[in-house]
Amino acid sequence: MSVRQFTKHYETPRQVASAARHHAWLAEHARALRLPALTVVGPTSLTYEWIDGRPARTEDLLALAGLLGDAHGTAWTTDLRPASLNTPHHFRDGVAFGDYIGPRQTALRRRLEQGYLPDRVALHAMLRLLEKTAEGPTAFYKDSNPRNFIITEAGDIYTVDTDDLTLAPMGYDLAKLIATLVLTYGPLPASVVDSALRAYNEAVERHDSRLGTTDRERLDDFLALHAVLTAPYAGRNGYRHSWAPQPCPRGSA
């Protein structure tokens, strides 16, 4: 019986090497995440085992929040404890994945150019919000949207599309999951968001009591950032719903 596989193609060997390295880093330092096996590394492609299942839905949020908290706690304990949010993270062979501030500053400025921010005043408010959130224990960001989790018929959760990693504060990737669930399926009750945040903090605190630093105000700050950063994808990739208007970042008036 042949095993089904999935091959992903890249433009350059450097991209292949980076994606393979990130997969290996997650397998070592975020063991809570179940990853499809990487079976073949080609010059411009990677081949993985095929996972049958469905993308994540809103009813999966609590389980996914706990999974992310466990993964972030493990990564902090095993590798990210000394990492700085403002400095790219280096692997043993010297190759880095990105810092938190730099890539998002670039993306926010691009959103102004694209018309997703009304003016430079709004841009500066978002940049100040970004700087405000760049504190606390360091986790990683892997773009936790519903399509990047596969739920099997048996209920197992697989994490896919792990090519690009950056550093991020605890809770930032949870906020991305919440934001993209809303964009995909519609608004979530505040009580569901609060329960997801509680599940995340409980999971990350099992690794170290100092890690559960994400409160609802901080989560809302992350959500405000994601509302702008994901704006170009509205109407694409299954994002059928609009994002509810976010309050002006605190202290930006």
- In the DSSP assignment, the letter for residue 76 is I
Q: Who wins on pLDDT, 95 or 155?
A: 155
Residue pLDDT, tens place only, 222-241: 999 999 999 999 888 788 98
Q: Identify which of 142, 135, 160, 145 has the alpha carbon closest to the alpha carbon of residue 53.
A: 160
- CATH for 54-233 is 3.90.1200.10
Indicate the pTM of the whole model: 0.92
Q: Identify which of 46, 41, 54 has the alpha carbon closest to the alpha carbon of residue 6.
A: 46
Distance CA 44, CA 28 (A): 24
Asked if 210 and 137 count as a contact pair (C-beta separation under 8 A), the reply is yes
H/E stretch holding 166: strand 166-169
**Residue 102 neighbours by CB under 8 Å, 6+ apart:** 86
Asked if 5 and 48 count as a contact pair (C-beta separation under 8 A), the reply is yes
Please check the confidence at residue 249 and state whether its pLDDT lies above 70.
Answer: no
Q: Identify which of 230, 248, 225, 218 has the alpha carbon closest to the alpha carbon of residue 100.
A: 225
Q: Where are the domains of the chain?
A: 54-233
Counting residues of the chain whose pLDDT is more than 90, the rounded percentage is 87
Asked if 44 and 9 count as a contact pair (C-beta separation under 8 A), the reply is yes
Residue pLDDT, tens place only, 79-131: 999 999 999 998 877 778 899 999 999 999 999 999 999 999 999 999 999 99
